[in-house]
């Protein structure tokens, strides 16, 4: 059964939890920029957490369903409608065959993730269904969605959910459904090259606001703001970078790397945004003001563990709801 893309919107792509195991060959992670949001949306519709869904940037996506499906979305603030019914983030909804699902423009935040019962059944390439938009493989023919595309959907087992109402009252916690925040604070741990920056720079980095530049994309968020200066000018030997790494090129403007980033880099790494804050980073758009706040590695791990425990409880709650 297919899903018809009536309008592809600004930038919509097929993503799952990303591609691992091929970094040694230079292959990026790709995947949903907020993996947690996609996991929650997938759990809501009764899928495996790692099923492929759609990442929708800035909205404008219109879909028509060939058969009945359960859907849920998480992410920024979007006006989403099934016919004339408004569908808030984190809610489980039923779309009948021939039904339409429309994402308006993002009111706030930048991206959201849509899960559809059965998942999007594009071929697995290098162990993932994620679209690698830079190397052009995976997902829908290695590219963003186009108007008129038909996406294959996996089998929908009706027992996947007990929802009989059009929109269930049972929801995900609010901060999971909509992690976007005004003037967000991104928590970070120190990078290997922290000590290569002078005191004034460290002071600036940890106290001042940085503005998101328009040339940001799935590879990275570029910032304008106070200049970050190194003490030395020596060339560094290229080594691994990862989603979350904040690197500082010679122009002194930091870049926060996201899921489509390359695997190695030679710019100094001042810091790393913690995994638990990457969902907030995925909501940044041009003009947003951002501050950075340091946490210890232990704190970063504790936050991650807490969130996993909450998700475990949520999973149990969902299965009780369905039984």
- 22 binds another protein per the rule CB under 8 A: yes
Binding of another protein by 240 (CB under 8 A) = yes
Least separation in angstroms between residue 302's CB and another protein is 7
- The three state secondary structure string of 153-194 is ECCCCHHHCCCCCCEEEEECCHHHHCCCCCCCEEEEEECCCH
Evaluate the CA torsion angle 191, 196, 199, 201 in order and state its sign.
negative
Site stretch for another protein (CB under 8 A), options 6-14, 68-76, 125-133, 208-216 = 125-133
Of the candidates 305, 264, 273, the residue with the CA atom closest to the CA atom of residue 33: 273
Among residues 107, 238, 293, 319, the one that binds another protein under rule CB under 8 A = 238
Q: In this structure, how many other beta carbons lie within 10 angstroms of the beta carbon of residue 182?
A: 8
CA angle 293/175/262 to nearest 5° reads: 55
Site membership for another protein, residue 315 (CB under 8 A) = no
Q: Residue 183 Cβ, how far from another protein at the closest point, in Å?
A: 23
Please say which residue, 86 or 240, places its beta carbon nearer to another protein.
Answer: 240
317, 37, 25: which is closest to 174 by C-alpha?
A: 37
Residues in the chain: 323
Position among 239, 287, 317, 322 found at the interface with another protein (CB under 8 A): 239
Span from 40-48, 170-178, 196-204, 235-243 in contact with another protein (CB under 8 A):
235-243
Which residue, 148 or 266, is less far from another protein as judged by CB?
A: 266
180, 274, 280, 282: which one contacts another protein (CB under 8 A)? 274
Q: How far is the CB of 38 from another protein (least distance, A)?
A: 16
Both tokens of 106, joined, read 């993002």
Nearer to another protein, 78 or 205 (CB): 205
Q: How far is CA 14 from the centre of its chain?
A: 12
For residues 134-165, b (16+ Cβ closer than 10 Å) or e, as one string? Answer: beebbbbeebbbeeebebebbebeeebbebee
Q: Which of 182, 298, 320, 323 binds another protein (CB under 8 A)?
A: 298
What token pair was written down for 123? 């071929």
Q: Is 171 strand, coil or helix?
A: strand
Please tell me whether residue 8 binds another protein under the rule CB under 8 A: no
Secondary structure (DSSP) of 64-84: EESS-EEEEEEEEEEEEEETT
For helices 35-45 and 297-322, angle between their N-to-C axes, nearest 10 degrees: 10
- When asked if residue 196 is in the footprint of another protein (CB under 8 A), the reply is no
To another protein, the closest distance from the beta carbon of 98 in angstroms equals: 35
- 244 makes contact with another protein (CB under 8 A): yes
Q: How far is CA 23 from the centre of its chain?
A: 20
Distance CA 219, CA 240 (A): 15
Least distance in Å: CB of 261 to another protein? 11
Report the residue number, 26 or 98, with the smaller CB distance to another protein. 26
Indicate which single residue of 83, 86, 96, 135 sits in contact with another protein (rule: CB under 8 A): 135
Using CB under 8 A, which of 62, 64, 81, 134 touches another protein?
A: 134
256: β partners: 221, 246
C-alpha radius of gyration, the chain, whole number: 20
Q: Pick one of 24, 84, 159, 234: the residue that binds another protein (CB under 8 A).
A: 24
Q: Select the residue interacting with another protein from 15, 42, 130, 245 (CB under 8 A).
A: 245
Tokens in use for 240?
């691994």
- Taking the complex as a whole, how short is the minimal distance between the CB of residue 72 and another protein, in angstroms? 23
Which spans of this chain sit near another protein (rule: CB under 8 A)?
20-28, 125-126, 132, 134-138, 189, 192, 237-242, 244-245, 262-264, 269, 272-275, 297-298, 300-302, 304-305, 308
């Amino acid at each position: 059964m297919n899903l018809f893309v009536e309008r592809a919107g600004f930038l919509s792509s097929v993503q799952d939890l990303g591609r691992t195991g091929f970094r040694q060959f230079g292959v990026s992670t790709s995947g949903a920029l907020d993996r947690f949001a996609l996991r929650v949306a997938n759990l809501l519709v009764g899928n495996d957490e790692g099923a492929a869904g759609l990442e929708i940037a800035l909205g404008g996506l219109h879909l028509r369903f060939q058969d009945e499906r359960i859907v849920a979305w998480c992410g920024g603030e979007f006006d989403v409608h099934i016919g004339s019914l408004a569908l808030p983030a984190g809610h489980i909804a039923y779309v009948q065959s021939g039904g339409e699902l429309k994402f308006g423009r993002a009111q706030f935040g930048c991206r959201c993730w849509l899960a559809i019962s059965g998942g999007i059944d594009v071929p697995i390439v290098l162990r993932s269904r994620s679209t690698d938009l830079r190397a052009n493989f995976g997902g829908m023919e290695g590219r963003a969605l186009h108007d008129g595309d038909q996406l294959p959907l996996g089998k929908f087992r009706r027992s996947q959910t007990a929802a009989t109402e059009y929109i269930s009252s049972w929801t995900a916690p609010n901060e999971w459904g909509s992690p976007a925040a005004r003037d967000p604070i991104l928590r970070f741990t120190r990078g290997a090259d922290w000590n290569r920056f002078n005191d004034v720079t460290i002071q600036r980095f940890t106290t001042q606001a940085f503005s998101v530049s328009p040339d940001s994309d799935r590879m990275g968020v570029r910032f304008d703001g106070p200049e970050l200066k190194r003490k030395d000018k020596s060339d560094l030997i290229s080594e691994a970078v990862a989603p979350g790494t904040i690197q500082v090129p010679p122009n002194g403007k930091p870049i926060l790397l996201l899921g489509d980033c390359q695997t190695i880099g030679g710019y100094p790494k001042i810091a790393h945004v913690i995994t638990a804050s990457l969902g907030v980073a995925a909501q940044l758009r041009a003009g947003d003001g951002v501050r950075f706040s340091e946490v210890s590695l232990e704190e970063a791990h504790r936050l991650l563990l807490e969130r996993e425990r909450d998700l475990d409880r949520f999973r149990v709650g969902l299965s009780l709801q369905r039984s």
